[in-house]
Amino acid sequence: MAREYSLNPAASQRPKLDHRAMLNEQQYAAVTAPAGQALVIAGAGSGKTRTLTHRVAWLLENGIAPERILLLTFTNKAAREMLERVESLVAVDVRRLWGGTFHSVGNRLLRLHGAALGLRQSFGILDREDQKDLLDAVLSDAESSVGSFRLPKAEVMGEIFSLASNTRLSTEEILTSRYPYFLEALEDIEAMRQRYEQKKRQTQSVDFDDLLALPLRLFEEHPQVLETLRSQFEFVLVDEFQDCCALQVEWLRHLVGPRGNLMVVGDDAQSIYSWRGAEVEHILNFGDLWPQARVFKIEINYRSVPEVLALANASIACNKGQVPKELRADRGAAGALPALVALDDGRAQAAFVAQRLGELHEDEGKAWSDMAVLYRAHFHSMELQMELTARGIPFEITSGLRFFEQAHVKDVAAFMKFAVNEHDEVSFLRMVRLVPGIGPGSATKLWTAWRKVDHPPQAGHPGTFSQWLLPMSVPKKAREGWQQLAYTLDELVIEGKAIAPTAMIRSVVEGVYEDYARSKFKNADQRQQDLDQLAAFAQRYEDCPEFLAQLSLLSGVDTGSSPEEGSRDVVTLSSAHQAKGLEWPVVFAISLAEGLFPHHRVLEDEASLEEERRLFYVTLTRARDELYLCHPLLNPQSRTGDVILRPSRFIQEVSQDLLEKWNIRPAW
Ligand code: ATP
Ligand code: MG
């Protein structure tokens, strides 16, 4: 006896979405727009991201295969959230869709097609610190031949190259507009750039900017690759378009072509990345690139109560260079104005925020994760971090040094990077310098010796690392550590094949790093726990280069967070830049004093000040229900001797009727 039983796909059980009921007219028109190009230009909180999410869902419902959709967002987190939302809307495996930051998509494209540019699939990614190390090496090589006193330091050099790459301008143009005092060193700087490029090629590594620039080269120089990609990505969607740099716009121009399907959403009033080469003009000139594009405008804000929105509107109206628009609030009045809170100093500010967070949680039942504290610069949060820790309020930080950028994580990663890429000089040097007794000098000599090895085990040759490394000459007191390092490497690559990333991390920690951490760090236990967490995170990956790429991308400028981030009930502490696109019921903006926000660097320059005001606008528009504006009156630690702080001009220039002043007095 047998019984026929068929499994129905989940899709057939889920009704199609009622997009019309969930969207307003303009949003609906955009979501269901016919093929072609579309620009959704609208203010903060007007549902741009929601529109994109529904567009993806709508495409999937209409039978577009997920692989044919490319969704570009500003952070990996944003991409993940959007895909989760789509997944809850339609029954399609959204993991098949191409979604992520430009950088992460660039990485995937280069792994697939980089061979055309001479890149091996296992190429490494230099994060900003690795980049600086490599530039330092280039600079010190060159020191003898160049009058190095005139040259910018590695970090500044990196910034110059990065800007040139992102804006597609020449080094000379960048120097003229931003670093005129280095113009006389132009020739030397150009020469450095060439050496740096060479060095990257030799070491089979790319930096963050290459993740954007090299795919573009691929599109430009390899028409057959572009052809394949164009027909693969039938629909391209982009969030936060106002912060795209020239390179990213070129990507779109190539991938989409003059008649492809492209939808971008953005808000010129929230453009805050010109210091990294973004140009708000791209959004204003969209019609020049795609003359047939449809334009959708949304003038209703769904996020914030009218009191918050009135303040945000008043603030952005102070900018001269903007497309005038007045956002209307969809929500009803909250009955309370945004609070303006003057506090004695940073400590009092921290105490106020912590106490208020506690009250909102205990008395008003707000979840910790409903609340965020935003600031201009990471160090503004230090006192608050201490206060929250003292009071036992849980929080996470999305600014400043992140999990993946910490020394111990990078040390362990150096072993792994070298184990899969024998050309990786930066990782080799970092790794061997961990051996007690080996300094920068011996490390360089060892690298020279390694480069003579003609069939290294990583490249698929039989044999072991120790066979090559042990005969090399090392200082006497380094001998034991050197052996340990060589044998540890042996465990990582077996018969020319890298073992799984988790196993690698365990081997490195047990073989070398545990001892090192104990001798080097006061908080070795904490670091040990971090590495355990890293090993657990790595379990998702079987392939080492893929894991390492993720690691670099997570530490990158455009991304947030530690592995488990997102789902915990904690208060968010974030820089205003990192808060882009996000929202919370309660927002505290702190350190709103002249010189802090606006930052003292921008006070002189009108254009930078306008960008700073847009950043303030972004900060205000993150709040749904409640907004607190805090400013300390004194800065006892001031290095310039200017102890008295004035409230930010961004507070003073708007009508004070939009704010409610809170007078704070000590309990005693
Ligand atoms: P930002 O400029 O900050 O990126 P945005 O324009 O992308 O904002 P969303 O984040 O998409 O705006 O939406 C803001 C809030 O308003 C979200 O909570 C969203 O769910 C809600 N929202 C958007 N459109 C509607 C609508 N038509 N009906 C109800 N709620 C909406
Ligand atoms: Mg958005």
CA 30 to ligand 2 centroid distance, Å: 15
Q: Measured from the CA of 302, which atom of ligand 1 is nearest?
A: 16
Instruction: State pLDDT tens for residues 304-353.
Output: 999 999 999 999 999 987 777 778 999 999 889 999 999 999 889 999 99
pLDDT value of residue 564? 44
CB 447 within 8 A of CB 429: yes
Tokens coding 16? 């199609």
pLDDT value of residue 558? 40
Q: Name beta bridge partners: 632.
A: 343
pLDDT value of residue 285? 86
CA 581 to ligand 2 centroid distance, Å: 4
CB 282 within 8 A of CB 241: yes
Give Cα separations from 586 to 329, 338, 521 (angstroms): 17, 11, 38
What is the average pLDDT across 479-491? 94
pLDDT value of residue 324? 73
pLDDT value of residue 8? 53
In eight-state DSSP terms, residue 512 is I
What is the average pLDDT across 399-409? 65
CA 581 to ligand 1 centroid distance, Å: 9
What is the average pLDDT across 424-438? 92
The residue whose CB lies within 8 Å of the most ligand 1 atoms, and thus the one to mutate among 24, 50, 238, 582, is 50
CA distance 306 to 294: 30
In eight-state DSSP terms, residue 94 is G
Backbone angles phi, psi at 187, to 5 degrees: -60, -45
Tokens coding 525? 């236990």
Q: Tell me the pLDDT band of 295, cut-offs 50, 70 and 90.
A: very high
Does the pLDDT value for residue 362 go beyond 90? yes
pLDDT value of residue 642? 67
Q: Which residues contact 656 (CB under 8 A, 6 or more apart)?
A: 340
Share of the chain above pLDDT 70, in %: 93
Q: CA angle at residue 271 from 86 to 332, to 5 degrees?
A: 60
- Report for 198-207, 409-418, 526-535, 647-656: range of highest mean pLDDT: 647-656
Going by alpha carbons, the residue nearest to atom 24 of ligand 1 is 47
Amino acid identity for residue 2 in this structure = A
Other beta carbons within 10 angstroms of residue 329's beta carbon come to 20
pLDDT value of residue 640? 63
Does the pLDDT value for residue 77 go beyond 90? no
CA distance 346 to 315: 25
Going by alpha carbons, the residue nearest to atom 29 of ligand 1 is 302
Share of the chain above pLDDT 90, in %: 55
Instruction: State pLDDT tens for residues 511-521.
Output: 999 888 887 77
Give Cα separations from 78 to 83, 558, 566 (angstroms): 9, 11, 11
pLDDT value of residue 554? 65
CA 606 to ligand 2 centroid distance, Å: 27
The residue whose CB lies within 8 Å of the most ligand 1 atoms, and thus the one to mutate among 49, 54, 584, is 49
CA distance 493 to 470: 16
Q: Is 395 helix (H, G, I), strand (E, B) or coil?
A: strand
Amino acid identity for residue 133 in this structure = D
**Superfamily of domain 405-555 in the CATH hierarchy:** PCRA; domain 4 (1.10.486.10)
Does the pLDDT value for residue 559 go beyond 50? no
Burial of 324 per CB tally in 10 Å (0-12, 13-18, 19+)? exposed
Tokens coding 623? 């709040």
Other beta carbons within 10 angstroms of residue 637's beta carbon come to 9
Helix/strand/coil (H, E, C) string of 554-596? HCCCCCCCCCCCCCCCCEEEEECHHHCCCCEEEEEECCCECEC
CB 45 within 8 A of CB 583: yes
CB 563 within 8 A of CB 533: yes
CB 232 within 8 A of CB 186: no
CB 271 within 8 A of CB 284: no
pLDDT value of residue 133? 87
pLDDT value of residue 562? 42
Closest CA to 124 of 107, 101, 103: 107
CB 266 within 8 A of CB 240: yes
Going by alpha carbons, the residue nearest to atom 3 of ligand 1 is 581
Q: What is the pTM of this model?
A: 0.81
**618 alpha carbon, closest ligand:** 1
Mean of pLDDT over the chain: 87
CA distance 525 to 508: 16
Going by alpha carbons, the residue nearest to atom 27 of ligand 1 is 23
Closest CA to 128 of 530, 412, 438, 402: 402
pLDDT value of residue 607? 83
23-111+212-298 fold: Rossmann fold (3.40.50)
pLDDT value of residue 149? 55
Instruction: State pLDDT tens for residues 234-271.
Output: 999 999 999 898 899 999 999 999 989 999 999 988 88
Instruction: State pLDDT tens for residues 578-612.
Output: 899 999 999 999 999 999 999 988 888 888 899 99
Tokens coding 276? 């990294």
Q: Measured from the CA of 622, which atom of ligand 1 is nearest?
A: 3
Q: Tell me the pLDDT band of 143, cut-offs 50, 70 and 90.
A: low
Going by alpha carbons, the residue nearest to atom 11 of ligand 1 is 47
Q: Is 414 helix (H, G, I), strand (E, B) or coil?
A: helix
Q: Measured from the CA of 300, which atom of ligand 1 is nearest?
A: 24
Q: Measured from the CA of 52, which atom of ligand 1 is nearest?
A: 11
Q: Is 655 helix (H, G, I), strand (E, B) or coil?
A: coil
CB 164 within 8 A of CB 146: no
CB 315 within 8 A of CB 620: yes
In eight-state DSSP terms, residue 598 is T
CATH architecture of 306-394+565-662: 3-Layer(aba) Sandwich (3.40)
Closest CA to 20 of 58, 46, 52: 58
What is the average pLDDT across 145-155? 68
pLDDT value of residue 375? 95
Other beta carbons within 10 angstroms of residue 526's beta carbon come to 11
CA 239 to ligand 2 centroid distance, Å: 7
Which run of H or of E encompasses 71? strand 69-73
Going by alpha carbons, the residue nearest to atom 4 of ligand 1 is 581
Amino acid identity for residue 494 in this structure = I
Going by alpha carbons, the residue nearest to atom 15 of ligand 1 is 303
pLDDT value of residue 561? 43
* H-only helix segments in 90-185: 102-113, 128-142, 154-167, 171-178
Tokens coding 72? 């570009």
Q: Tell me the pLDDT band of 563, cut-offs 50, 70 and 90.
A: very low
Question: What is the chain's Cα-based Rg?
Answer: 27
**Residues flanking ligand 1, CB < 6 Å:** 23-24, 27, 42, 44-50, 267, 270, 302-303, 581, 583, 621
CB 632 within 8 A of CB 345: yes
CA distance 468 to 68: 47
pLDDT value of residue 14? 57
Going by alpha carbons, the residue nearest to atom 23 of ligand 1 is 47
CA distance 210 to 217: 10
**304 alpha carbon, closest ligand:** 1
Going by alpha carbons, the residue nearest to atom 8 of ligand 1 is 45
Domain segments of the chain: what residues? Answer: 23-111+212-298, 146-203, 306-394+565-662, 405-555
Q: CA angle at residue 337 from 333 to 342, to 5 degrees?
A: 165
- Is the peptide bond between 457 and the residue preceding it cis, with omega within 30 degrees of 0? no
CA 549 to ligand 2 centroid distance, Å: 26
Are 23-111+212-298 and 306-394+565-662 the same fold in CATH? yes
* H-only helix segments in 154-242: 154-167, 171-178, 186-202, 208-221, 223-232
What is the average pLDDT across 8-35? 80
Give Cα separations from 375 to 356, 582, 634 (angstroms): 17, 14, 17
CA 160 to ligand 1 centroid distance, Å: 37
